[in-house]
Structure 1
């Protein structure tokens, strides 16, 4: 394995054995109750330290290999994946319904829109939220998720497509600065975004956040064009100048130029640091008859070694301190007991 493959990490055999042992001892436990204490992996420490270091201070991406998913049932895989996530970081809520693990697959027409929300654009065409788009077989544009690290465990791969596209937001940042410093400056200034109904309570339906933020010499880029586009449809929201639209188009173009593709195999686990990696996906086709219907299990993780974020990012991340649990989707206030 060459130097350039340092982001590919094979599970040590001893850790795979300990996963099976922990799986056995938690066999009567709901996967949501799994934690570091009841799912012990005594020898995972050095391996996961290496993974966290690569994510935060290296390339920002890791592919972990070696888990034979064919040996396990769906509920067992949930326990394994949630247990690994709990050892790696802190799982965060992915939507206002309190989900901490999401199956990413083609849910069929209308399901994503119902779960995650949709509106109509100026031409009257349906406009889906980012969450809804992930549950369709369509392509996904480059974006980041609202967590330090997004983790995807591939259970099944599609018969065609579904290729992961990755681009370094640090490279995109530097390229735009080199080519068009005027547009780069605009991406470092606040841009209005919609929360698209994904928050509980609807407070701060629109918020301002730059696409590029730097603190203590470290970049964070939080970007999803869907939320910017939706913000532009709402009354009372500042309309972007043509130069801002041009800057965003350039970001998308440079990400496309600089990206590379990663194909998942069943059992692969992809981990991406959202602060420094944009991710997208090609469209896919399932073939249920051959068992090639794409299904990934997603975790959003807050990392113990995460970077400190700029102060103005608190609107989205909550606590901006280094290593603090932050990100995820705010939950509705608990209903008072009757």
Structure 2
């Protein structure tokens, strides 16, 4: 690993960070320019592109941007990528009617949008590129269980890619609201009000990989400490998951205590508290796109419909932007798979 450039890694970033990524909930509520509604012409563009790939027998993972031709909408998606990485970090796309598509067509549409945004990466050890966020009856508090397979409340966290996308196929009967917060605004608050908590967050922690690491060890953690807040290339980025931090440090024989434990828990507490937390309720066809480098997301517990065909289902994508921000080496290697690497896929050559 190359040595960091001291000029790029000051002990503490300038305070406050004043760009659009440092928003509060009231800012999102007052200015909905982060919400994009697809018009009829754009949906027709998507439909033509979906028809083109399905006629060739292509599905997710088997075609790229050039196979999914878009005109005006391609420029708009490029604007979403800029907003995600250089703006507020969140985009909500509305206007799709998922009832118009069978699963194959909707998956092709979603994959096509993703390919115009960036490069999808594996999000679990099975190599899934589109994951299904739904209740499988598992216990969130059991060892190595990932929260997206349960109906439990999920604490604030970032995922391990530049962007996480969620497409709502079916909403819950009750609950399941998405909570988002700006990690950059939380940093500003801590640096001003609790500066003693900043150093352990900059030093970072060993994150638990929940049995999906590159070794056969179910207790594998990140080999190095991954910072919660990382300053590099003139920008501040965030990487947080309170549960995997606490579990990972415990697995390493370094259970958190003192200021380090307080710092980790305070980030999670602030992310679901005013004035940081913004609440969103998914509607059918919504696509939520979030920067994992600036936004923390959480989820309320939910109650499902009794009918299997109506149960809450979100389709998840992890992807890296083609021209994403530069990341410090220790920050970029989040899963022991190298800079910006996805989850290690078992059985892959």
TM range (shorter): 0.7 to 0.9
* Residue in structure 2 matched with residue 159 of structure 1 by the alignment: 173
Q: Tell me the equivalent position of 2:11.
A: none
Task: Say whether the 8 Å CA contact 2:151–2:303 is kept in structure 1.
Answer: yes
Three-state SS of the structure 1 residue aligned to 2:262 is helix
1:127 equivalent to 2:142? Answer: yes
- Given that 1:56 and 1:305 are in contact with CA atoms closer than 8 Å, whether structure 2 keeps it comes out as no
Cα shift at 1:215: 0.9
Query: What are the residue-to-residue correspondences of 1:19-98 with 2, within 5 Å?
Result: 19-27=46-54, 28-98=57-127
Contact 2:170–2:312 (8 Å) recurs in 1: yes
- Residue from 281, 288, 304 that aligns with 1:270: 288
Q: Which residue number in structure 1 is paired with residue 32 of structure 2?
A: 5
**Among 287, 310, 320, which residue is 2:305 paired with?**
287
Q: Does 1:171 align with 2:185?
A: yes
2:163 to 130, 134, 149: 149
**In 1, are the aligned partners of 2:205 and 2:249 still within 8 Å (CA)?**
no
Displacement, 1:200? Answer: 3.0
Cα displacement (A) at 1:37: 2.2
Secondary structure of the residue aligned to 1:251 is helix
Q: Which structure shows the higher strand fraction?
A: 1
**1:123 counterpart residue number:** none
| 1:237 partnered with 2:266 | no
Query: What's 1:219 paired with?
Result: 236
List gaps (5 residues or longer) in structure 1: 114-125, 321-325
Task: Please give the TM-score of this superposition, normalised by the length of structure 2.
Answer: 0.83
Q: For residues 176-213 of structure 1, what are the alpha-carbon distances to aligned partners after superposition, in whole Å with 9 as ceiling and x for unaligned? A: 11111011122111322222211233486343112111
Q: Cα deviation per residue 1:219-277 (whole Å; 9 max; x = unaligned)?
A: 1111112222222332x532323111111121122212211101110011000000000
1:291: how far off?
Answer: 5.7
User: How far apart in 1 are the matches of 2:279 and 2:344?
Assistant: 32
RMSD: 2.3
Q: Structure 1 length as normaliser, TM-score? A: 0.86
Deviation digits for residues 143-171 of structure 1 (CA, Å, limit 9, x no counterpart): 00000000011011011001000010001
Kept in 2, the 8 Å contact 1:96–1:200? The answer is: no
CA contact (8 A) 2:50 2:68 kept: yes
Match of 1:323 in 2: none
Are 2:246 and 2:256, in contact at CA under 8 Å, matched by a contact in 1? Answer: no
SS across alignment from 1:228: helix
CA contact (8 A) 1:141 1:280 kept: yes
Unaligned runs of 5+ in 2: 1-27
SS of the equivalent of 1:31 reads: coil
User: Are the counterparts in 2 of residues 164 and 281 from structure 1 also a CA contact under 8 Å?
Assistant: yes
Contact kept? 1:175, 1:254, Cα under 8 Å: no
8 Å contact 1:52–1:305 — kept in the other structure? no
Corresponding residue SS for 2:72:
coil
Cα distance in 2 between the residues matched to 1:186 and 1:92: 29
